[in-house]
């Protein structure tokens, strides 16, 4: 029996973070019952400059990509990858690109109750498939309740204390040069950047287990 702790440093508006977890999960399933995993979700802000209420996705990302045409091309490519991997990426011209800071506060609390992966997947689905503004506290609260989080835990997520902890975490990751999402830290020793293939994740995990 091999035990792993994996810290997933990601953002909920990052499609490669979503795809990366999907691929990691395939590798975990392939490893079978001889391996146990403790997964913790950690904060990364892909767009830290976005205001609290969010911004128009097409306007903001159109500027990032250089033009609306380039954004549309990248979006279509992403949607094709999603089809191949069983993830539905839906986008419209009315979409809001949210500020995800509050979502990170919520998942930090969910880490303590073992609900963080369930919450992460619900957040990804809410944003990428349902087009919801996951920066909105009411929407986040509904998502959290739907996956079974207790009301007092949800309230704790939106306290000043949780805000300060997330700020410190983000700063700490920047100090150790974690500057992209997704990033995976395994057993506090091994770091993997990017949404690797399931086979690649499988090889890394089995190699780590063999060399312990």
For 178-197, what is the mean pLDDT?
Answer: 96
Order of strands across the sheet that contains 2-10: 35-43, 2-10, 183-186, 190-193
Q: Residue 1 pLDDT > 80, yes or no? A: no
For 177-197, what is the mean pLDDT?
Answer: 95
pLDDT tens by residue, 33-79? 889 999 999 999 999 999 999 999 999 999 999 999 999 999 999 99
Kindly give, in sequence order, each residue whose CB lies less than 8 Å from that of residue 132, ignoring residues fewer than 6 positions away.
126, 139
Q: Residue 25 pLDDT > 80, yes or no? A: yes
Instruction: Take residue 59 and report the two structure tokens written for it.
Output: 């306007």
Q: Which residues pair with 7 in a beta bridge?
A: 40, 185
The confidence score (pLDDT) of residue 211 equals 84
If you average pLDDT over every residue of the chain, what do you get? 96
The confidence score (pLDDT) of residue 7 equals 98
For 28-33, what is the mean pLDDT?
Answer: 92
Phi, psi for residue 170 in degrees, rounded to 5: -60, -45
Q: Residue 2 pLDDT > 80, yes or no? A: no
For 171-193, what is the mean pLDDT?
Answer: 95
For 24-39, what is the mean pLDDT?
Answer: 94
Percentage of the chain exceeding pLDDT 90: 95
Closest CA to 189 of 1, 5, 2, 3: 5
């Amino acid at each position: 029996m091999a035990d792993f702790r994996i810290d997933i440093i990601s953002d909920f508006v990052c499609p490669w973070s979503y795809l990366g977890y999907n691929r990691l999960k395939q590798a975990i399933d392939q490893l079978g019952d001889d391996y146990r995993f403790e997964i913790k979700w950690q904060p990364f802000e892909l767009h830290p400059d976005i205001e609290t209420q969010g911004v128009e996705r097409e306007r903001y990302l159109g500027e990032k990509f250089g033009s609306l045409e380039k954004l549309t091309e990248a979006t279509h490519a992403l949607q094709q990858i999603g089809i191949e991997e069983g993830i539905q990426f839906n986008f419209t011209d009315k979409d809001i690109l949210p500020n995800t800071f509050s979502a990170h506060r919520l998942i930090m609390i969910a880490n303590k109750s073992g609900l963080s992966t369930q919450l992460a997947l619900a957040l990804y689905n809410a944003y990428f498939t349902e087009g919801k503004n996951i920066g909105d506290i009411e929407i986040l609260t509904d998502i959290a309740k739907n996956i079974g989080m207790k009301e007092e835990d949800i309230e704790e997520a939106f306290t000043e204390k949780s805000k300060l902890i997330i700020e410190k975490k983000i700063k700490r990751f920047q100090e150790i040069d974690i500057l992209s999402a997704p990033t995976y830290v395994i057993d506090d020793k091994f770091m993997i950047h990017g949404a690797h293939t399931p086979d690649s994740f499988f090889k890394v995990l089995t190699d780590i287990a063999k060399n312990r």
